Amino acid sequence: MPQRFRTFGSGLVLIAMAALAVRIAYTLYAAPDVRTLPPSDAGAYHLLANNLADGRGYIRPYDLLLAKPPAVRPTAEYPPLFPAVLSVVSRAGGDTVAAQRIAMCFVGTATVVLIGLLGRRVANAGVGLVAAGLAAVYPMLFQSDAVLMPETLYAFLVSAALLLAYRAIDKPSNARFGALGLAVGAAVLTRAEAIFLVVLLVVPLAVLVREVGRRRRIALGTIAVGATLVVVLPWTYRNYARFDEVVPVSTNLGSALDGANCPPMYSGPFKGLWQYSPDCFDGFLQSELAAGNEAVSADAHRAEGLRYARHHAGEVPGVMAVRWLRTFGLYDTHFQVRFETFTEWRKARWQTFGMRMYWALLPFAAVGTAVLVRRRQRVWPLASTFVLVSLTTALTYGNERFRIAAEPALLVFAATGITVLLALVRAPLRSRVT
């Protein structure tokens, strides 16, 4: 085994061990409690997983738990892959919130490894180790592992898709483009907005790869898109069979648009955010569900949100801008931390530290991007994730959690900048010593 590979591999293993220790320590000693009551997204994922493990199927968890009398209704409110992964933990005996959180620490650690491999592919082994080291201690990553939300799995899948994209660039083949499509499909079943990656990553990759002819590029792109559809369409068919309506991935878009397009979200301190309230999104009511089904209720909420946006079309561009600024940590940050602490099961101290570390990484990321562009390295796969996040937040609402898809790319860019700047500092010192 080459010495260079042994050095990188050993370093990455040590960093992964440290990353796992950080995540478990944070989960056990610093993270807030994640409870099933009152109803919450994290609690819903936990209950969905246990219902799947117990053979009840993919049903609305709180309708079964809290409705009187208990109601068993199919759901597509949450994309299915994250609960399915948690259900594997439940079937193995880990049906508690604590056990499922610890399991997610291992997924988060695997993401650190992928970020290290991605950094090595984009730049070099040194950048890979620096990127993995940053990922190991970056709160905007490890907080997700402890709050039982799908961003843990989503970050892993986006990192895998980016690494597979670069492998497809290195050696275009049916297998590599197919693997990329499968990874994107899995990401879509974790967070529905990942479907944008088909347009932002998969299609440009097939169009711009230079090593093959035009027909071959079309074939590779078709294979990748087809692989994505193979993963997603069975779930879409299941939703059609349950709701008699086409629901590609999730009914969650209805609640997102309704809760983000209402009077409090267009002005004042909540501008650009989302709210669960009678003035905004007031939930999928039992009366609505009894009269139709979840998809019908989601359609009504989506229509209400779009109606408000149309009636206030002149304000929409400004609101979208605020949403984007909030997600990228550039607008009313003190209030943003308080909001996400209250709604996202995060600790204010760690959320603040994560935001400050993010700010500190930005200038290094700018330097790293410039260096990679100057070296004629293909940076658009990494850059596509920033476009993905921008589209997601502009169309829904502002939340730093949504930035998770771009965090791996940010860390690779920042690691490149840090490595280059360290080399510039060390060069004069070496010359003095010699």
HSE at residue 152, side-chain half, CA atoms within 13 A, is 27
Return the bridge partners of 74, or none.
Answer: 59
- Contact between residue 111 and residue 144 where contact means Cβ atoms under 8 Å apart: no
Q: Which of 42, 130, 30, 133 shows the shortest CA–CA distance to 348?
A: 30
Quickly list H helices, 171-251.
Answer: 174-188, 196-197, 203-208, 214-243
Whole-angstrom CA distances from 13 to 4, 69, 143 are: 14, 52, 21
Position of tokens 């070099």? 124
Whole-angstrom CA distances from 109 to 79, 342, 412 are: 23, 26, 16
- Contact between residue 139 and residue 94 where contact means Cβ atoms under 8 Å apart: no
pTM, full prediction: 0.95
- Contact between residue 80 and residue 189 where contact means Cβ atoms under 8 Å apart: yes
Q: How many domains does one find in the chain?
A: 1
* pLDDT tens digits along 248-263: 999 999 999 999 999 9
Which tokens belong to 141?
């990553």
Whole-angstrom CA distances from 366 to 89, 116, 384 are: 40, 19, 15
- Contact between residue 389 and residue 327 where contact means Cβ atoms under 8 Å apart: yes
> Average pLDDT, whole number, for the chain?
92
Q: Domain span at residue 230? A: 3-286+293-433
- Contact between residue 321 and residue 336 where contact means Cβ atoms under 8 Å apart: no
Mean pLDDT on 16-32: 93
Euclidean distance between CA atoms 374 and 161, whole angstroms: 24
* pLDDT tens digits along 165-177: 999 999 999 999 9
Q: Is a pLDDT exceeding 60 seen at residue 381?
A: yes
Contacts of 334 (CB under 8 A, 6+ apart): none
Q: Which of 314, 328, 424, 315 shows the shortest CA–CA distance to 368?
A: 424
* pLDDT tens digits along 125-163: 999 999 999 999 999 999 988 899 999 999 999 999 999
* pLDDT tens digits along 80-99: 999 999 999 999 999 999 99
Euclidean distance between CA atoms 119 and 137, whole angstroms: 16
